[in-house]
Structure 1
Amino acid sequence: MQRFSVWVEPALVSEWMRLMQGYAVSQGRTVEVGTMAAAMTWADPARDVALPRSRALVLMEEGTPVHCVWSGRRLSAETLDVDHCLPWSAWPCGDLWNLMPADRRVNQHGKRERLPSAEALHHAGPAILDWWSAAYLRPDDRVLPPRFRSEARASLPGLASSNLSELRESCSAVALQRARLRQNQGVPEWTGQP
């Protein structure tokens, strides 16, 4: 597949456009080729951590301590980094549940683009639950809790029919997705040790 990938995608796109044109004609409509080609252009996902960063800074301003989910260190505006728990390089997922506060040194020099090991993720579980509750699931917020739940249901295995009343279900689903990425892609692990 890798050898022939340079022509597989264009062939699939071309065939799909031909099928859609035929379908449109059968309905008495016309579809511009340029419009279809523009719709078929792959858009790379954006790597945006502004929302979790701003939530962490607001919590700090309110006097609520924010801790690195991996090391437990109390963070300041200067040491705060936002980590993709499941690394962006392996799975470009910018969902709220995947964005964690981390100490800048731990994120940039320790964990980097690696998966947390099962043990590191289990150890961080209580800190992750605390972060989710404080940053995204505040009872007075009408926007972020539904977004958090919707994103978790859409991208984490086994949560599609869950009401997410228990956040531990989400932690278990993150652990399952971690195991899938490890097995299917061979993403290197980070044990939590320096």
Structure 2
Amino acid sequence: MLNEVLKSPITARHIAESKKLYQDILDTQGQVHCVWTGKKISNYAIDHVIPFSVWKNNDLWNLLPATAKINAQKRDKIPAPDLIEHQRGHILEYWEILHKHQQQRFEKEIQVALLGNHTFDSWKSQGITQLQNSCNYLIETRGFEAWDVRKNQSA
């Protein structure tokens, strides 16, 4: 724990590892889907689910593929909890892939950021629930703008 506290603060977006992982998926499976629309994409951006400007977090679970247009549209907005529920399948699909390819890092990051005292055996449902709770808190209590791609479907 002391090592975590003594780490320098994160000041830059680090998405290269996630970008490479999703490129490997694209190369082997031939497709990646936008986490927010579900549309098949070949050219994508890496979206900070909870925006980097709000929470300086480069955890794997927080870095998911999206179209560049959707990522630009979302910007520093917070995904609405019901959008997270609607896109649960895509989020969990990527979390499972990340867990498979970077098991130790993924488990450590999601445990600290989303699971807290909950055991890892319920990481999928608890992770989604806590992500929704965190987003709801940022929207309702901290006043950040909620975002839902379904409300402006020009994407």
User: Is TM > 0.5 for Structure 1 vs Structure 2?
Assistant: yes
Deviations 1:46-83 (A, max 9, x none): 2111111101100111125210010111111xx21000
Q: Identity over aligned residues, as a percent?
A: 26
Indicate whether 1:137 and 2:99 are aligned.
Answer: yes
Deviation at 1:182, TM superposition (A): 1.8
The total of aligned residue pairs comes to 145
1-structure distance, mates of 2:81, 2:104:
28
TM-score, length-scaled by structure 1: 0.69
Instruction: Tell me the equivalent position of 2:3.
Output: none
SS for the counterpart of 1:137 is: helix
Q: For structure 2, which runs of at least 5 residues remain unmatched after alignment?
A: 1-5
Deviation at 1:165, TM superposition (A): 4.4
2-structure distance, mates of 1:119, 1:155:
20
Residues 118 and 66 of structure 1, relative CA distance in 2, 3 Å threshold: same
Indicate whether 1:163 and 2:120 are aligned.
Answer: yes
Indicate whether 1:46 and 2:8 are aligned.
Answer: no
TM-score, length-scaled by structure 2: 0.85
Instruction: Tell me the equivalent position of 2:58.
Output: 94
Report the AA paired with residue 133 of structure 1.
Answer: E
1:174-185 alignment, distance < 5 Å: 174-185=131-142
**Structure with larger RCO (C-alpha < 8 A, sep 6+):** 2
Q: Is the 8 A contact 1:86 1:115 kept in 2?
A: yes
Q: Is the 8 A contact 2:51 2:76 kept in 1?
A: yes
1-structure distance, mates of 2:44, 2:92:
18
Deviations 1:151-187 (A, max 9, x none): 111112x433412444122111111111222233211
Residues 147 and 189 of structure 1, relative CA distance in 2, 3 Å threshold: same
Instruction: Tell me the equivalent position of 1:80.
Output: 44
* Root-mean-square deviation (Å): 1.9
Query: Which has more radius of gyration?
Result: 1
Q: For structure 1, which runs of at least 5 residues remain unmatched after alignment?
A: 1-39
Report the AA paired with residue 40 of structure 2.
Answer: R
Report the AA paired with residue 97 of structure 1.
Answer: W
Residues 161 and 121 of structure 1, relative CA distance in 2, 3 Å threshold: closer
